[in-house]
Structure 1
Amino acid sequence: MKIYDITLPIHPEMLHWGRKPEVHVVESLANGDASNVTRWLLGAHTGTHVDAPAHFVDGATPIDQVSLDTLVGPVVVVDLTHVRGDVEVAHLTEAGVAGQRRVLLKTSNSAGPLKEAERAPHWVGLSPEAAAWLVGQGVELVGIDYLTIESHRRTDTWDAHHALLEAGVLILENADLDQVGAGVYELVCLPAKLVGADGSFARAILIDRS
């Protein structure tokens, strides 16, 4: 059995969409306290995280109520590192994604923009048409290796997010797939149980039992 940790490390200098995490020392052994205690200020969408339907749909399922059956189970990783621009329907059909329940899109982001400290001007995202196609295929979770699954050309309208989240499809973002080959794995993705939240940072691993 081999385990791939696809979770980004969380720290104050990490890649982040908005404000980066802050760490404050509450107690420290060096200062004569009984233990080391820190307080972290970070957003729900920090690092590797899951978008719940409530992220874009008022009254929809928050992260503490999403199904663990969706977050744990077989997942197919598809190699789309050759794609430039948006992932389109043709790319997904060629990769054999049809009928899959959970899909992770490995793109050139993993070895490129995901490794940078600041947000890139361009990245590989999912086109709205491809998002709608995945919904039609019955996908329950789709992930990608960048800050957002959205195309860099659509961050004013967020069309892919609307298509997926309005259909109840969970989105896993910032999955580090650089060392993961194409194939079928067991996904274990556990977001923090933040009550009523629109999403949550998560520890996500892939297990290869072959």
Structure 2
Amino acid sequence: MQLIDLSVAIDADAWDPNQITHEIQSAADNAKEFCTEMAQFGLALEPNELPGGELLVMDNLTLNTHTGTHIDAPAHYGSAATITYGRARTIAEVPLDWFYRPGVLLDLQNVDGAVADAAYLEKEIARIGYTPQPQDIVLLRSRAAQWADTPMAFSEYVGLDRSATELLLDHGVRVIGTDAASLDPPLGDMITRFRTEGDQSALFPSHMVGREREYCQIERLSNLDALPGATGFTVCCFPVKIARAGAGWTRVVALVND
């Protein structure tokens, strides 16, 4: 079985719209801290008594749950007052079997503009010759990959409108992933259309569908070009279990049978 990593690294040295701090504590400093902590419990130990005079290298990070490759849970899409179908589940509450399912890759790169609608997805589904089945995980190639590690990746891509998102949910899909920063169209495009048309539905259409229908979206995927085709792989994307959180980081892997 071939394993294909579809995730981006959480990297404090790379450009990211969310601030990341990553402090690395040396093994020597960790030894001093550990011995000080043990002394509070009446356990005497000196750093020089440890093997090599040091203990362990430790990493301390500060970051947002929407940093790097992550999964948005239903609870992310709005407050209880805006959710129309009942209580929205947090990332720790979403069923695990949503995140280990056959994958389907749809290509949005030929969209004219920044928004794919249901009509485009229907043509793409016909092109690949496979209709998404209930609980398949659909991944979207959005044009963002060519701008990886730059601010352009967050503005030059193709997102879904309401009709496209609802089409996938109508097929029974519960997890939709994209290599872009969001399943929605780029922020500049949404605001321009809202100001031009005066239609509030142009703003965050995919996220707003999540207030009416329960589903998750994976954001900031990578390496979709390495997939064997539109089908023929399984997606494994279990999120980190964070209590009461609206999102969780995930290491997304595609499993391809030889």
The TM-score, its normalising length taken from structure 2, stands at 0.73
Alignment of 1:58-77 (within 5 A): 58-59=79-80, 60-77=88-105
> Counterparts of 1:32 and 1:191 in 2: how far apart (Å)?
29
> Counterparts of 1:90 and 1:57 in 2: how far apart (Å)?
28
Q: Given that residues 132 and 164 in structure 1 are in contact (C-alpha distance below 8 angstroms), is that contact kept between their aligned partners in structure 2?
A: no
Cα offsets for 1:123-171 (capped at 9, x unmatched):
2111122112222222111111111111012378211111145311110
Cα offsets for 1:4-25 (capped at 9, x unmatched):
1001011113343x33311123
Q: CA deviation at 1:58?
A: 2.5
**Correspondence 1:4 to 2:38:** no
Alignment of 1:192-207 (within 5 A): 192-207=240-255
Q: Which residue of 2 aligns with 1:95?
A: 124
**Correspondence 1:52 to 2:76:** no
- Identify the structure with the greater strand proportion: 1
**Correspondence 1:39 to 2:39:** no
Change (3 A) 1:108 1:19: closer
Alignment of 1:87-166 (within 5 A): 87-96=116-125, 98-100=131-133, 101=135, 102-110=137-145, 112-113=146-147, 115-119=148-152, 120-152=154-186, 153-154=189-190, 157-164=203-210, 166=212
Q: Given that residues 56 and 166 in structure 1 are in contact (C-alpha distance below 8 angstroms), is that contact kept between their aligned partners in structure 2?
A: no
Q: Which residue of 2 aligns with 1:21?
A: 20
3-state DSSP class of the match of 2:233? strand
Q: CA deviation at 1:207?
A: 0.6
AA aligned to 1:196 is R
Q: Given that residues 4 and 206 in structure 1 are in contact (C-alpha distance below 8 angstroms), is that contact kept between their aligned partners in structure 2?
A: yes
> Counterparts of 1:196 and 1:40 in 2: how far apart (Å)?
20
Unaligned residue ranges in structure 2 (runs of 5+): 32-54, 81-87, 192-201
> Counterparts of 2:30 and 2:207 in 1: how far apart (Å)?
49
Unaligned residue ranges in structure 1 (runs of 5+): none
> Counterparts of 1:126 and 1:90 in 2: how far apart (Å)?
11
Identity %: 26
Q: Given that residues 238 and 251 in structure 2 are in contact (C-alpha distance below 8 angstroms), is that contact kept between their aligned partners in structure 1?
A: yes
Q: Which moved more, 1:70-79 or 1:147-156?
A: 147-156
AA aligned to 1:41 is T
Q: CA deviation at 1:117?
A: 2.8
Larger radius of gyration: 2
Number of residues paired by the alignment? 206
> Counterparts of 1:165 and 1:134 in 2: how far apart (Å)?
16
Cα offsets for 1:80-128 (capped at 9, x unmatched):
3322421221221122264433211123222x13x13325433211112
- Identify the structure with the greater helix proportion: 2
> Counterparts of 2:203 and 2:108 in 1: how far apart (Å)?
24
